Amino acid sequence: MSQPPSSPSTGQRPALRSMDAGQGQSRFQVDVVAEAAAASRAAAGGTATPATGSKPAGAEEAKGRFRVVGFLDPSSGPPNNPPEATDFAQNSDTVKSEASLYSSGQTHFSDTHSSTYYMRTFGHNTIDAVPNIDFYRQTEATLGEKLIRPSLSELHDELDKEPFEDIFANGEEFTAMEGVPSKEKPESKGTSVKFGWIKGVLIRCMLNIWGVMLFIRMSWIVGQAGIALSCAIILMAVIVTTITGLSTSAIATNGFVRGGGAYYLISRSLGPEFGGSIGLIFAFANAVAVAMYVVGFAETVVELLDSVDALMTDELNDIRIVGTLTVILLLGISVAGMEWEAKAQIVLMVILVAAIFNFFIGTFISTESKEPMGFFGYNAAIMMENMGPDFRDKETFFSVFAIFFPAATGILAGANISGDLADPQVAIPKGTLLAILITGVVYLGVAVSTGSCIVRDATGDHNDSIPIPNVNCTDAACTLGYDFSICKEGGCKFGLQNDFQVMSMVSAFGPLITAGIFSATLSSALASLVSAPKVFQALCKDNIYPGLGVFAKGYGKNNEPLRGYLLTFFIGLAFILIAELNIIAPIISNFFLASYALINFSVFHASLANSPGWRPSFKYYNKWVSLVGAVLCCVVMFVINWWAALLTNVIVLALYIYVSYKKPDVNWGSSTQALMYNQALSHCLHLTGVEDHIKNFRPQCLVMSGYPNSRPALLNLVHAFTKNVGLMVCGHVRTGSRRPVYKEMLNDQLRYQRWLLKNHTKAFYTPVFAKDLRDGAHYLLQATGLGRLKTNTLVLGFKNNWRDGEMKDVEIYINTIHDAFDLQYGVVLVRLKEGLDISHIHGQDELLSSQEKAPGMKEFVVSISLSKDSDSDSSKPSSKGTSAQSSPLIHKDPKHPIVPLSVADQKLLEASQQFRKKQGKGTIDVWWLFDDGGLTLLIPYLLTNKKKWTDCKIRVFIGGKINRIDHDRRAMAALLTKFRIDFSDITVLGDINTKPKKSSKEAFEQMMEPYRLREDDMEQEAAERLKAQEPWRITDNELELYRAKTNRQIRLNELLKEHSSIANLIVMSMPLARKGTVSSALYMCWLDTLSKELPPILLVRGNHQSVLTFYS
C-alpha cells in the first residue's frame, strides 16, 4: 500500500503537479478515469490496463455520465496535444475557465477554487460548480464570457444516459473549449481604448467645469456680490454638485456601468420612463452646449480680430464663420477616435492650468502701470472694501448666482463616457469628486484673489493719482494714491465691476489668459461633442423611442457612434448659425439640472425601496442628503430662470408620459419595481388586519380557463366585471399519466402571464399539476390568493360535451362544484350555445410576441389538442406523447396554409369574440329566483358599469304567486331601490310551478335515459354493486323524489325561451343539488336542460353570505 503524501506546511499551498501512474493521490485528487480503470481491473481479476483505443466499461460509463463536465480524458487525447494540455488532463486539481481557454496560447492555469467549468469540484466527480464570476455575467457582457452553471434539474433529476449516448455515439467527448457556444467567443476587432480615472474622468470634468466663466465673469461676480457672498455662491454651487457627485458615485458603484452616462445611471435606477425622458433632453442639451461653447470661442476670436481691425465681414457673420470652422475641426478630432480626443483634451488642460497659474503669479507682481486700472496687489484695505456686496444694474444675489451656477456644471463629463472607462466603478467616484474639490478650491482662490487686489472701479488714467496720505479718503483707492470718485457717476471702463478682461490685465502674461479662454471653450465644446453621441447611442440601443435605432450602430474598435457625431454636428451647427444663444442658454442649464435632480432622486428612491440589489460599494452617501440634493437642483432651476424651469418640467413630463404609454419591453430591475413590490407587500399585510365588510365585497374569481387563450369568451366576460374591481386568477389544471415536467409548467406560466399582459387582461395565470380536474381545482381553491387578496368565486365553463365523454369526467366536474361550496365559494357556470373552447382551431391565436420568435420563424400557430367545448382546463396527452404535448404546440408554418374553417368553427370563433366588442342596446336579464346573498344581482350591476355594457338595461325576473304579483313586484322594486341598483323592469313569474310541455319532458327523459340505474329491473345486490362502481347513475327512487325539481328546471327553460330569448346576457340563480343525494348525472341533466338553446347564460350561486347592503 502506498503511503499518503505528507501534508504541506501551514500557510503553504500544495503544488499542482501531474500524478504519475502508481503514485499515491491525496484525498482531494480523485481522477475519474483512473478510478474507472481501477474498477475495471478489479472486475477483470487484476488484468493490465487496456491499450489505447480500448477503454474499460467503467471509463465509458464515467465518460457518459460526466459528459457535460467536459473532462479531458488523457487516454483519448489526440497525439499532438501540447504539453500544457497533457499536464492539465493528468492533474485532477487543475482546470481552465472559459476565459483562460480563450486567452492566447492557453498558458494560464488556475486552481479549481477560482475557476471551474463543470469539472471537478474539490476533487470530486460532480458537475456542481463552485462560485464563479462568469456565471453572473449578462449575455451581452463585454468584459468576459458568460458561463451557464448546471441547472437545478441537471443536478437533481434522475440520471438519464440516453442523451449522452446519442451525442457521443462516436466515442469522442467535448472539451471545455468545444462546449462553449461560438457566439460567446470574443471577436478580435482590435484592442479598444479604455481610460483610467485621471485621463477619463478627472481631466474631462475639470475642463468642463473650468469654463469661460472663470476668466471673464468671476471678477465681475466678486465686484457685484463681494468676496463673502461670492464665496457663498461658489460653496452653494459646490454643495449641489458634491451631493450630485456622491449620488453619481453610489449609482456607478452599484454594479457594472455601461456606456450612456447620465441616461444609463438614471434609466437603470428609476426605469425607462425617467431614463428615456432625461436621456433625450440630456443628449440634446449636450448637442446645443457645443454651439454655446463654440460661439463663446468665436466671440473671443472676433473681438481679437476687431481690435486689430481685421474683421472679414461684419461681427455677427464672422462669429458664424469662425464657429462653423471650429465645430468642423472639433468633429474631425472626435471622429478620429477617443484616443485623439483624449490627447487633445490633455493639451487643452495644460494650457488651461498654465493660464490659471499665470493669473495667480500675476497677482503677486504689482506694477505702477496697472494701478490706474485698479490693480494694486494684495491689500487689506481693498479686501475689506470688497468683502461686502455692491449690487448694481438691478442685480441681486440670486441673479448673480444664476449667472455663476452654469460654470459649476459639467460634473458628468466623465460619467458620460462610462463605456470608454477601464473601470467605471472606481474612475467615476474618484475622478468626479476630486474634480469638484479642485475646481471649487480654484474658484474660491480666484474670488479671494481678485477681491483682495483689484478695486471695483478705476478710470485707467494716471492723472487721477493723488498725494499720499490724504486725510479725506473714504475708499481703498484713495489710501493708495488714486481718486476714482468720478466713477460713481458712471463711465469708468476698469475695475471688477466694469472690465470683463481684468484677469488678463492682472496676469503675468496676458495672452496666456486668452489662450486659457480658448482652451476652456474648446475643451468644453469637445467634451459635449463626445458626450451627446455617446448618451444618444445608449438611448437608441435600448430602443426606447421607435425610429431612432439607426443611431445605435457603432463603428471601429471603440464602437464609435459616427452617425451620432454627425447628428450632433448638424444640431450644433444650426444653433451656431443662429448665433443668438441668450434664450437657449437657460434652458440648457435647466436640462442639466433636471438630470442632476433625477440622479439624486434615484439614490433616494433606491435606498427607500430597500431592494437587496441596492448594494453600492461607495458608502459615503445618505438617502436624505440625496433627497435634499434633488430638491436643491429643482430650486436652482427656478432661481436661474423660472420659465425655462417650467418648460423643462413640461418636456420631461411629456416624454415620461409617452414612454409610459409605449411601455418599452425592457426590465432593468429598477428601484421603481422594488418600491412597487414593497408597497404591494405592505398593503397586503395591512389589508390582512382589516375585517371584511359587505360594502367592500367584490367578486374575486378563480376562472378555470385552462390555457388563457383557449377560452376567450369566458376570459373576456369575467374580466368585464372584475377589471379594476376584483381579483381574477386563470386556473389551469394540467393532468396526465406521465411524470409532470415542472420546468415546462413554469415556462408556460411566464409565457401566458405575458400573453395576458399583452392582451390587457388584468389577471394572473396559475397552473397546477394534478391527477384530475377535481384535485387540481381543490388545490387552487385552497391555495390561490394572498391574505385578503383571496378568490371567493369559482367560475367554470359549462361542460357542453358531457354526454360524449366518459361519465367519470362528469362525476369529477360535479364534485368540483360541490368542493367549491364546501369551501364557502360562490360558483358561476358560463354557457354559450356555440361553446367556449376554441383551442382545437389552428391559427386562432399568436401566442408568442415578436421578441420570442426564433430567427427564421415568420409565423407561429398555436394548436391545443383538447376535446371541443370541454369544461376541463387540463391537457391530456396521449400515452405516446412527448412533453411538448401538454402545452400548446408551436409550429413553424411558413408553407402550409391554414385549413378553411367549418361553419360550426366559424360560429364558435365569432361567439368567442362577442364579449370583446361593445354590446348594443339590449338587456341583461337577471332571474333572481333564490336569495344567495346577492351575488346573482351584483355581477350584472358591475357589468353595466363598464363602457362595453353601459347601453344594456337590467331586467329582473322573480318567482311569486299569481295572487301576489303586484305586491311581490313592489317589494322587489323597493329592495332594488335601497340597493341603489338601476333596473328597467321587474317581472314576477307566477307560473313557475305549471307543468312543462310534454315535448320538453320527453326530451328530458331521452337525455336522462342512458344514465339511469333501473334497479327495479335487476337484483338488489347487482344494483348496489353497479351503483357503487358507477355512482353517477340515476336511481328510480331519486328520480321520483326529485320529480318536482326536475319539472321546475324544464319549466324554467321554457320561460327563459319565452322571456329572454333576445337578451344580451342571462344571469340566473343556479339550482343546488344536495351532496351525496342527487347523482352527478341527474344534476348535470338539470343544468343542461335549464340552460340549453339560450343566449349566453350565467348560472350563479353565491355562498349565501350577504354581498349587498343598503346601509351607509
pLDDT tens sequence across 152-174: 767 777 665 444 333 333 433 33
For residue 530, name the pLDDT band (cuts at 50, 70, 90): confident
DSSP state of 817: H
pLDDT of residue 144: 56
Average pLDDT, the chain: 77
Q: How many of the other CB atoms lie within 10 Å of CB of 493?
A: 12
Mean pLDDT over residues 11-40, rounded? 40
482 vs 27, residue with greater confidence: 482
Of 178-187, 198-207, 664-673, 999-1008, the range with the lowest mean pLDDT is 178-187
Of 628-637, 785-794, 880-889, 1058-1067, the range with the lowest mean pLDDT is 880-889
Mean pLDDT over residues 699-710, rounded? 91
Instruction: Report the share of the chain in percent with pLDDT over 90.
Output: 21
Mean pLDDT over residues 318-334, rounded? 88
> 747: which 3 cell numbers?
415556462
Give the Cα separation of 1057 and 97 in Å (integer): 75
Sign of CA dihedral 616, 619, 624, 630: negative
> 1041: which 3 cell numbers?
323524489
For residue 737, name the pLDDT band (cuts at 50, 70, 90): low
256 burial level (CB within 10 Å; 0-12, 13-18, 19+): middle
Task: Give Cα separations from 945 to 688, 729, 912, 951, 954 (angstroms).
Answer: 28, 21, 22, 10, 11
Amino acid (1-letter code) at residue 648:
T
Question: What does the pLDDT look like over 199-246, one tens digit per residue?
Answer: 888 988 898 888 777 887 888 899 999 999 999 999 999 999 999 999
Is the distance from CB of 976 to CB of 747 less than 8 angstroms? no
Give the Cα separation of 57 and 37 in Å (integer): 8
Among 226-230, 469-473, 485-489, 783-787, the range with the most confident prediction by mean pLDDT is 226-230
Mean pLDDT over residues 642-658, rounded? 89
Cell 387552487 -> residue? 780
Task: Give Cα separations from 963 to 764, 957, 967, 993, 1078 (angstroms).
Answer: 50, 17, 9, 14, 33
Alpha carbon of residue 1101 to chain centroid = 42
Among the listed residues 960, 962, 943, 965, the one whose alpha carbon sits nearest the alpha carbon of residue 952: 943
Give the Cα separation of 228 and 251 in Å (integer): 35
Q: How many of the other CB atoms lie within 10 Å of CB of 319?
A: 22
738 vs 171, residue with greater confidence: 738
Of 170-184, 312-326, 503-517, the range with the lowest mean pLDDT is 170-184
Question: What does the pLDDT look like over 364-390, one tens digit per residue?
Answer: 887 778 888 888 888 888 898 889 898
pLDDT of residue 579: 64
pLDDT of residue 227: 93
Among 416-430, 880-894, 953-967, 1016-1030, the range with the most confident prediction by mean pLDDT is 953-967
- DSSP SS3 for 989: strand
pLDDT of residue 296: 80
Contacts of 367 (CB under 8 A, 6+ apart): none
User: For the whole prediction, is pTM greater than 0.75?
Assistant: no
For residue 412, name the pLDDT band (cuts at 50, 70, 90): confident
pLDDT of residue 125: 61
Give the Cα separation of 281 and 658 in Å (integer): 14
Contacts of 402 (CB under 8 A, 6+ apart): 586, 639, 640, 641
pLDDT of residue 122: 58
User: Does residue 316 surpass a pLDDT of 70?
Assistant: yes
Mean pLDDT over residues 865-891, rounded? 38
Mean pLDDT over residues 174-179, rounded? 37
> 283: which 3 cell numbers?
443628449
